[in-house]
Amino acid sequence: MNPLTNLTFLFFLFLTFVALGYTWSCAVFPYKACRSCRGVGFFRSPVFRAIRLCRRCDGSGRTLRAGRRAYNSLLRARRSFRDAQERNRRNDDH
Ligand SMILES: [Zn+2]
């Protein structure tokens, strides 16, 4: 094994660990602070003491992280695929 192959292998090993770490962190910490209101959830008016809820996060101050959003959409796609299969099977029975 020449040193270049070794380096490439180490690089891919490193990438795998980073991906695993990111997956784990998205599972444990699915939210991040909203980019628009910086996690506050509302905007304060410069006059009076009025506030306006953030439209991007609906006043919650948090949004899903990109990894978690991808995971959720994957889950949804798989579920709809499974439901369609189930429906087909039920139609075949009759
Ligand atoms: Zn917000």
Q: Band of the pLDDT at 1, cuts 50, 70, 90? A: low
- Domain boundaries, given as residue ranges, for the chain: 31-63, 65-94
Instruction: Read off the pTM.
Output: 0.61
* b/e code 22-57 from CB counts within 10 Å (16+ = b): eeeebeeebeeebeebebebeeeeeeeeeeeebeeb
Beta-carbon neighbours within 5 Å of ion ligand 1: 34, 36-37, 54, 56-57
Mean pLDDT of 78-94: 87
CA end-to-end distance (rounded Å), the chain:
61
Q: Band of the pLDDT at 47, cuts 50, 70, 90? A: confident
Ligand 1 centroid distance, CA of 85 (Å): 39
Ligand 1 centroid distance, CA of 80 (Å): 30
> What pLDDT, in 10s, does the model give residues 48-65?
889 999 999 998 999 999
Q: Band of the pLDDT at 90, cuts 50, 70, 90? A: confident
